Amino acid sequence: MTITHRDNDAILGRDDVDDIEAILSVTNSDVDEIQHIVADNADAIFTWDYSLARPHLRKLYEKAKVGQWNSTTDLPWDTEVDLEKVVTEDQSAISAGLSPDHYDGTIIEKWDDKQWLQFGLDNRRWTLSQFLHGEQGALLCTAKITETVPWYDAKLYASTQVMDEARHVEVFARYIDEKLEGGFQVNAHLRLLLDDIINDSRWDMTYLGMQVMVEGLALAAFGFMHQLTSEPLLKQLLRYVMSDEARHVAFGVLSLKEVYDGMTDAEMKDRQEFAFEAAVRMRDRFLAQEVWEKHGVNPKDVVPLILTDPTRDLFQTMLFSKIVPNCKKLGLLDRNDQWLRRRFEEMNVIQFEDLEDTGEEYVKFALDEGDEPANIT
Ligand SMILES: [Fe+2]
Ligand SMILES: [Fe+2]
């Protein structure tokens, strides 16, 4: 039987992945929202089999128990952060992540240093705010995995991740509040993705959406900012968070490998589509439309240029440097006539497929391996 994937419209709500109008029409219409309720359609599963069936997950569990750190006492919260100085230094290192010449003819061609700085300050607030909201997504997802995964070893591990994610939410929220003077509401593309992950009734989809896709991207993005920033508190905060995240992605990859190796083509089709949807939603969220709007720029004027900006493209594609090799390891790239490989080729991220996957890489990120990980991007 030939497997037919759904078309882009059915998966993404638009025919053309790069349809700017459609991307920008997804906005957060209630920025004052305090509570967001999502139906969680999954069965909670007890298991009475307490045997050691998956030693590789138990090894991760042991690592997690000794890898815990204290967000209150292990980070130098009394560090004075001169935000304008830090953002100026960080921006000068990467030209604000954009190629300035690429925007001739738009309103930002005329921006002076002061305006770039104001944009940079909000971009920093926005970026860390989305990290924060994503961390809360991870907190809820791993609480869900603890309930829904049928394996004892995985329940034990997932419970440690709940605590890890609580720390991550705590440190990003505190940093934004104390050092950045406030943040941004959740980006609508990110929220759509988090809703889809929580909403799905199949327990492996929580893993795929959160552990492999969202956390894979977070690990790359944290690594990039950790290397970039000169701010010592943020640098250390990210270093600590990354030591946990690498374990989390490994948990996803090691668990799903076992499940996906035994799946039918039809079952794999759904996972491929979900991975594709997640990849596109995450790319869309990084267009940062809220920040442009706040600075008087119509996102429709700049987003088409952002999508073809070579400096920005480097950063954008790097975000997928963990996701693509992990998808390959799970068989998602090449099953069903290489459907996901073709999609990642179109997104220009397939070049990462042969990088090291994250199944074992967490060892390098462990805090006891020294302060700097050997390879963090
Ligand atoms: Fe996290
Ligand atoms: Fe995580």
Query: In angstroms, what CA-CA distances link 152 with 2, 19, 148, 158, 201?
Result: 36, 44, 11, 10, 19
CA 219 / ligand 2 centre spacing (Å): 9
Task: Give the pLDDT band of residue 368 (cuts 50, 70, 90).
Answer: low
SS3 278: helix
Query: Among positive and negative, which fits the CA dihedral 286, 289, 294, 296?
Result: positive
CA 166 / ligand 1 centre spacing (Å): 8
Query: Among positive and negative, which fits the CA dihedral 21, 35, 125, 296?
Result: positive
pLDDT tens per residue across span 302-348: 888 888 888 888 888 888 999 999 999 999 999 999 999 999 999 98
C-alpha span between 240 and 234 (Å, rounded): 10
Q: Which residues contact 271 (CB under 8 A, 6 or more apart)?
A: 204, 205, 208, 260, 263, 332
pLDDT tens per residue across span 245-263: 989 989 999 999 999 999 9
Q: What would the DSSP string read from start to end of 54-97?
A: -HHHHHHHHHHHHS---TTTSS-TT----HHHHHHHHHHHHGGG
Q: Are 207 and 255 in contact (CB under 8 A)?
A: yes
Ligand 2 ion: Cβ-proximal residues, 5 Å cutoff: 138, 215, 245, 248
Domains and CATH numbers, the chain: 53-68+108-369 (1.10.620.20)
CA 140 / ligand 2 centre spacing (Å): 11
SS3 29: coil
CA 232 / ligand 1 centre spacing (Å): 20
CA 39 / ligand 1 centre spacing (Å): 22
pTM (two decimals): 0.93
CA 218 / ligand 2 centre spacing (Å): 8
pLDDT tens per residue across span 280-310: 999 998 888 999 999 999 999 988 888 888 8
Which amino acid is located at 138 in the chain?
A
CA 167 / ligand 1 centre spacing (Å): 8
Average the pLDDT over each of 93-107, 152-166, 319-333 and give the range with the smallest value.
93-107
CA 168 / ligand 1 centre spacing (Å): 5
Return the axis-axis angle of helices 113-148 and 83-94, rounded to nearest 10°.
Answer: 90
pLDDT tens per residue across span 18-76: 898 999 988 887 778 899 999 998 999 999 999 999 999 999 999 999 999 999 999 99
Q: Which ligand is nearest to the CA of 247?
A: 2
Q: Is the pLDDT of residue 116 over 80?
A: yes
Tokens 């954008």 belong to residue: 316
CA 161 / ligand 1 centre spacing (Å): 8
Proportion of the chain above pLDDT 70, given as a percent: 96
Q: Which ligand is nearest to the CA of 241?
A: 1
293 HSE (CA, 13 A, CB side): 12
Tokens 């560090």 belong to residue: 79
C-alpha span between 154 and 60 (Å, rounded): 10
CA 186 / ligand 1 centre spacing (Å): 16
Q: Which ligand is nearest to the CA of 215?
A: 2
Q: Which residues contact 281 (CB under 8 A, 6 or more apart)?
A: 189, 190, 192, 193
CA 14 / ligand 1 centre spacing (Å): 30
